Structure 1
Amino acid sequence: MIRALFTALGPENSGPLRRLLALLAVSSVLQGVTYALLVPLMEAILGPGPGSAWPWFGVVAVSGLSAAAATWTAQTAAFRTGSDLARVLHHRLGDKIVQLPLGWFDRTRVGELSRMNSQSVPQVMNVPAHLLRPAVTAVLTPLTVVAVMPLFDVRIALTLVVSLPLLAVILRWSNRMVERADRDRHASIDEAAGRVVEFAQAQPVLRAFGRAGGDGALDRALAGQGAADRAMLWRAVPGLVAFGFAVRAVFAAVLIVGVHAALGGSLAAPALPALLILTARFAEPLSAAAGLGASMRISANSLASINRVLAVEPLPEPARPVVPASADVEFRAVTFGYGDGPVLREVSFTMPERTMTALVGPSGAGKTTVARLLARFWDVSGGQVRIGGVDVRDIATEDLMALVSFVFQDVYLFEGSLADNIRVGRPGASDEEVLRAASAAGLDEVVAALPRGIDTPVGEAGTLLSGGQRQRVSIARALLKDAPIVVLDEATAALDPENDAVVQAAVASLAGRRTLLVIAHRLRTVQAADQILVLNEGRITERGRHEELLDAGGTYSRFWQERSRTRGWHLTGAAGQGGG
C-alpha cells in the first residue's frame, strides 16, 4: 500500500509522505513506551510503598506529553498530506490523460475515469488523512509493547510473541477477502457508471421508442452493482469477526498465564494488573486492525486503478523529431488491428498536397481507422503512415496535431460562448479571426439570431444549438485552426439539406488549399474528389475519379446506383403506396 502511494505520487511529490510516516512512527513508539512505563508505576502504587510512585508519575507524564505532541503534529501533517495528495493525483491524472493515445479512450474508459476522479481519489486521500495513523499505530505500538514485555515477565512476552503469527494470518485472510470483493465491486461500478453516461446520452433515442423510464443494460448494470455490494458485505463480515475473536482469545491467554503465575507466587500481585493493562494496550490497536485493514484494502484497490492509468505507456515520442516540409500523405502497406484481428490489411495510397481524397465503403470497412491512424491515435502494426515523406512516429505529437484538423460526425461543444467554442481551434485567435471562421462556416445567420451574438452561451454540450449548427461550429474550428491537412469523418451524415449545403460549401472552400480526406456515405459529397478510394474488408479495392469508378461497374458503381434510387423515394398520402 505504502509503495503504491509512492508510485502514484511520483518521486518529486513523495517528500511530505515520507515525513508523515516518520512522524507517525515516532508517535506510535512513544505511545508504546508510555504504556510500558505504566507497569512500574502501577507496581509502585499497589506495592508496600506508594510514595515511591511519584518519580514514575513524572516519567509517565513526560513520555505521555511527548507522545501527545508527536501525535498532534503527525495528525496535522496527515490532514495536510491528504489534501496535497488529492491535488497531486488530480494533476497527475490530468497530465496523463492528455498524454494517452487517443485510441485508448472508449465508452468504458469514461465510466472508469469518472469513478476514479469522483470516488477513487477521495478514497486514496483518506489514507494519509485518516487511515495511516491508526494503521501505523496498530503495527508499531503492539510491537513496542512486545519488545519491552520481557523486562517485566518473559512468560507473558512469549504468549504475545506466539500469538502474533496467528493474528497476522487471520488478518491477511480477512483483508484478501475484502480485496477480492472490492475488486469485483469496482468492475461493477465502472460498468454502471458507463451505462449511466450512455443512458443520458441516448435519451432522444430511448424517448422516441418509449424507453425513457428504463433501459435493460442500465438496469442489469445497477443490479450487478447492488449484488457486488451485498457480496462484499458477506465476504468481509466473517474475517472481521474472526480477527476480533482472535484478539480477545490472546487477551484471555495472557490473563490465564498471569493469574497462574500470580497464584503460584512467581509473579508479584501488584505486577499482574499492571501487565494486564499493558496487554490491553497491546490488544486495543489490534482490535481496530481488521476494520482498518478492510478500509485500507478498499483504498488500495482505488489506488491500484489510479496507478494502472498512470502506468499506461503513451505513444513514444521521437528522440529527434522531424517537421515535414509538405502536407502530402502516404499510407505505405499499412496493417492494423484492435486485437481481434486486422482491420486494415496492406493498405497503400497517396494523398498529394492540396488535393481532395474521398474514402468510401461499407460500414466496418476501416474508414475511420484510416483517418485516425493519420493523426496517430494508434501506432500501426505494420507499414508506415507518412506526412511530407516523414513517418508520423518521427513527428512530435504537438507538431502532428498542428498539421491535422478533424471534423467528426459527433460534435462536442463545451459550456461557454459560441466564440469560445470556435476558438478551441486556435486559442490565441483574435476576435476578427473567429468571426471570419464563423462566417466561412455559414454561421452568420446563427450569430445574428442569438441574443448576444457570437458571445452567447451555447449551454452544456451545446444544447442551445441544433445538430446542424453544432456541425458548423466544428467546421469553423477546423477553418480557424488552419491546419494543412483536414479530415472530415462523416461530417454531413446526419445533416438536413440546408445545413448539408452550408457544410458542402465550407468543404469546397478548403478544396485546392488543403489536403483533404473526406469519409462519406453520401456519395454526392465526394463527386468532386481528385481521387476516390473504395475500402472493403480492410483493403483498397478500387481507386479513381467519380466517372472512372462509375464506368468500372464495381462496388462504387453499385453504391452510386443504390443511393440514386433511394434519393427518389418519398411518402404519399395513400397507405401502402410509395413512389420511386
Structure 2
Amino acid sequence: MTLSVLSSLSVLASLYALALAVEVMADSNQAWPTVEIVAATFCTILAYVLRLRSFAVSHCAAFRLETILRTQLSEHLAKVSMGYIQQFGASKLSKVIQDDVKELHVFVADSTPLYARAYAAPIMTLIGLLILDWRLAAVTVGLLVGGFLVLGIARRDHGDLSKRYMETREQVSAAVIEYVQAMPVVRTFDTGTSTFGRYSEALEAYREIVVNWYRSVSFSSRFSIALLNPMPTLVLLLWAGAWLFWSNELEFSTWLATLLIGTGMAESMMPLISLQHLIGKAKISITRINNVLSEKPLLQPDKEYVPQGCDICFDNVSFRYTEDSDYVLRNVSFSTGEGTITALVGPSGAGKTTIARLLPRFWDVNEGKITIGGVDVRSFTSENLMQYVAFVFQDTFLFAQSIADNIRLGNPNATMEEIVEAAKVAQAHEFIMQLPNGYDTCAGERGTFLSGGQKQRITIARAILQNRPILVLDEATAFADPENEASIIEALAALMKGKTVIMVAHRLTTIKDADQILVFDKGSLVESGKHCDLISHDGTYARLWSSYERSQAWTFNSESQTSSVCSSALLPDEELFGVAEAISGNLSVEEA
C-alpha cells in the first residue's frame, strides 16, 4: 500500500512537472525545458516501477495467505468429527477451501494497490488543487459529491441484492454439479427432465435477479458513472478555468496544472467502486471460512493412555446426530471379548452403522462411554486411536493413484513385498497382475477403472497391511456379485484372524458362527446371543431368519413362466422377503 501511494504521488509529481514545462515554454524564449521534462520523465518511470512493485508484493502476500488459509482449514478439518464433514458436505467444503480462499486471494492481490488509488490519490489530488486554486478545487469536489449522491441512490438496496445474487449464482453451480455427477442415473430414468429442470429453474432465478437488479439501477448507475468519469471533470475545469483566466483571476500555468491533475481525482473514483465490490465478496467468503474454522474439534487428551487389551465395551451409550434430532441410539450397553467376532444385525435404520462409526470417534457419544481395553476412546488422541482400529466399509474409496499406493495408504513405509503379500491374502493379487501395469496401474478417480468387488478386495488388502488389532466391517460384501463375494469372504476370513471384530451384517448367513450376535431395533439393543440361542426365541432375530429362509425358497410364478427371484446379492436378506411378497401380490408396497 505504501508503494502504491508513492506511485500515485509520483504520477501527480510528473503531471505538475509537465505543467511547469509548459509554463517555461510559454513565458520564456527557452526552446526546451530540459529540467522539467527530465523530472516528468523520471517521475513517470518511478510511478510505473513502484506500481509494478506494489502489485508484485500484494500478489506474493495473496499466495502466502492462500497457503496459510488452506493449510489451516485442512489441519482443522482433520481434527473435527467425521460427522460434521459428512453433514456439511464435501462439495461445500471444497467450495470454502478452493473458491472462498481464492476470493480472498483476489481481494488481497488487487485491493491493497487499489486502496492507494481509491483513497490516497483523491486526498493528494485535493490537496494539490487547494494549493493551486481553491475555487477550481471546490468545482471538482462539488461534481464528485453529486456523482456519489446519485451512486448512493443506485446502491440503496445493494446489500440485499448482492446477497440474493450470490445465492442464486451458487444454486446454478450446485445444479450443474448435480446434473453432471448424476449423469448415469439421469440417462437411465428421466433423460434429464428433472435434474436439468432444476438447473433451468436455478438459471432462470439467476437471470431474473440480474435483470431486475440491472433495471432497478439502470439510470442512476449510468448517470453516476457518467458524473464520476474524468471527462465531465475535465470539461468543468476547462470552463471554470477559462472564465477565471479571461477575468485575469487565474494564471495560465495554474489553470493548466489543475487540468492535468484534476482529472486524476475523478479517475480514482472508479477504483473505489471496484474496491467496495471486492470487499463485499471478501466478507461473504470470510464468513464461510470462519464458520468452518469455528467448528469445535474433537477434544484431545493431555495424557496418553495405553489400553489393557483390545476388548470393547459400550456403557449406556446414547447418541443423536444433532441437538434437535431424535436419538439414533438409546442406552446401548454391551461388551466384546478380545479376539472375538461380534455381529450387529437388525432392520435398516436400527443403528448398526452408527455403532460401528462411534468406535473410531467419527462422532462422540452424547451419553455414556465407549472403552477399548478399559480406556475411554475420548482419552485417545485421534492418531493413537487409529493405530488400534482398521475399517472395511461397504462404500469403498480409492484415490486416483497406483494400486500399490492405495494399498499402502495408512502404512507409507510398507515395502513392495509386503504390499504383494497383503494383496495375495486379500485375493487381489491375481486380478492386479492382469491390469496393464500391474501394481503401478492407476485406479482412476474413486477407483472408476475397477469393479466393485475389485475395489473391495483392495481396501481389504489395505486393512491387512495395517494389521491393527480391532477390525470394523460395515457390510463389506454388500455390493459384491456371487463370484467376487466368495473371494471377498475368503479375504475377510484371513483378515479377521486373531482380531477383535465388530461386523455390521445384513446377510444373516455370514454371521451364523459369530461369537456374539447383537440385534438392534429402532436404536435399542433388543437381543444378544449366539445364532442357535436366538433362533430358539421368538424374537426379532428369529423373525429376520424366518424371512431369510422364505426368501431363499421363493420363486416368481406366472401362467407362462417361472423364474428365480433377483439375486440375493442385491438386497439384505431381511428385506428380500418383503420385496418378493410385494411382487407376488401377497403384500402391498407399503407393507413390504
Indicate the TM-score class for this superposition, using the shorter chain for normalisation.
0.7 to 0.9
Q: Percent of aligned pairs with the same residue?
A: 32
Q: Deviations over 1:26-81 (max 9, x none)?
A: 32344345556666666666668989976655554444443233223223334444
Alignment pair present for 1:563 and 2:543:
no
| 1:111 pairs with one of 75, 85, 91 | 91
Counterpart of 2:254? 271
- Describe the shift of the 1:40–1:517 C-alpha distance in structure 2 as closer, same or farther (beyond 3 A): same
| 1:183 pairs with one of 166, 173, 192 | 166
Counterpart of 2:194? 216
| 1:528 pairs with one of 503, 513, 517 | 513
Contact 1:108 1:194 in 2 (8 A): no
Alignment pair present for 1:227 and 2:208:
no
Hey, what's the Cα distance between the residues in 2 that align with 1:529 and 1:47? 108
| 2:133 pairs with one of 153, 157, 165 | 153
* Stretches of structure 2 lacking an aligned partner (at least 5 in a row): 565-579, 581-592
- SS of 1:529's partner is coil
1:250 shift after superposition: 6.8
Hey, what's the Cα distance between the residues in 1 that align with 2:6 and 2:33? 26
- SS of 1:106's partner is helix
| Greater CA drift, 503-512 or 517-526 | 503-512
| Greater CA drift, 158-167 or 237-246 | 158-167
Hey, what's the Cα distance between the residues in 2 that align with 1:235 and 1:42? 48
Alignment of 1:70-85 (within 5 A): 70-85=50-65
1:379 shift after superposition: 2.1
1:469 shift after superposition: 1.9
Hey, what's the Cα distance between the residues in 2 that align with 1:573 and 1:457? 48
Counterpart of 1:421? 406
Counterpart of 2:225? 244
Contact 2:15 2:257 in 1 (8 A): no
Alignment pair present for 1:490 and 2:470:
no
Root-mean-square deviation (CA), in Å?
Answer: 3.6
Counterpart of 1:286? 269
- Describe the shift of the 1:167–1:94 C-alpha distance in structure 2 as closer, same or farther (beyond 3 A): farther
1:482 is matched by which residue type in structure 2?
A: N
Counterpart of 1:139? 119
| 2:390 pairs with one of 397, 405, 415 | 405
Hey, what's the Cα distance between the residues in 2 that align with 1:578 and 1:446? 33
1:241 is matched by which residue type in structure 2?
A: R
| Greater CA drift, 90-99 or 258-267 | 258-267
- Provide TM-score, normalisation by structure 1: 0.82
Alignment pair present for 1:22 and 2:2:
yes
| 1:319 pairs with one of 284, 288, 302 | 302
- Describe the shift of the 1:163–1:309 C-alpha distance in structure 2 as closer, same or farther (beyond 3 A): farther
1:304 shift after superposition: 4.6
1:517 shift after superposition: 1.0
1:362 shift after superposition: 1.9
Instruction: Report how many aligned residue pairs link the two structures.
Output: 555
2:420 is matched by which residue type in structure 1?
A: L
Q: Deviations over 1:446-476 (max 9, x none)?
A: 2454455444444443333321121111211
* Stretches of structure 1 lacking an aligned partner (at least 5 in a row): 1-20
Hey, what's the Cα distance between the residues in 1 that align with 2:474 and 2:8? 62
1:327 is matched by which residue type in structure 2?
A: C
Hey, what's the Cα distance between the residues in 2 that align with 1:165 and 1:523? 80
- SS of 2:520's partner is strand
1:284 shift after superposition: 0.7
1:143 is matched by which residue type in structure 2?
A: I
Q: Deviations over 1:221-273 (max 9, x none)?
A: 46414632662465366475354145257777767765665576554455334
Contact 1:550 1:556 in 2 (8 A): yes
- Describe the shift of the 1:233–1:301 C-alpha distance in structure 2 as closer, same or farther (beyond 3 A): farther
- Describe the shift of the 1:270–1:421 C-alpha distance in structure 2 as closer, same or farther (beyond 3 A): closer
Alignment pair present for 1:437 and 2:417:
no
Alignment pair present for 1:479 and 2:464:
yes
Q: Deviations over 1:163-205 (max 9, x none)?
A: 77776674675863674245314531552355146415xx2x4
Hey, what's the Cα distance between the residues in 2 that align with 1:127 and 1:316? 34
| Greater CA drift, 225-234 or 400-409 | 225-234
1:486 shift after superposition: 0.9
| 1:468 pairs with one of 453, 458, 469 | 453
- SS of 2:334's partner is strand
- Provide TM-score, normalisation by structure 2: 0.81
1:386 shift after superposition: 2.0
| Greater CA drift, 50-59 or 463-472 | 50-59
| 1:539 pairs with one of 495, 506, 524 | 524
| Greater CA drift, 151-160 or 509-518 | 151-160
1:373 shift after superposition: 1.5
- Describe the shift of the 1:234–1:118 C-alpha distance in structure 2 as closer, same or farther (beyond 3 A): farther
Contact 1:175 1:290 in 2 (8 A): no
1:564 shift after superposition: 1.5
1:235 is matched by which residue type in structure 2?
A: W
| 1:372 pairs with one of 357, 363, 372 | 357
- SS of 1:543's partner is strand
Counterpart of 1:11? none
Hey, what's the Cα distance between the residues in 2 that align with 1:24 and 1:350? 68
Hey, what's the Cα distance between the residues in 1 that align with 2:12 and 2:158? 25
1:411 shift after superposition: 1.0
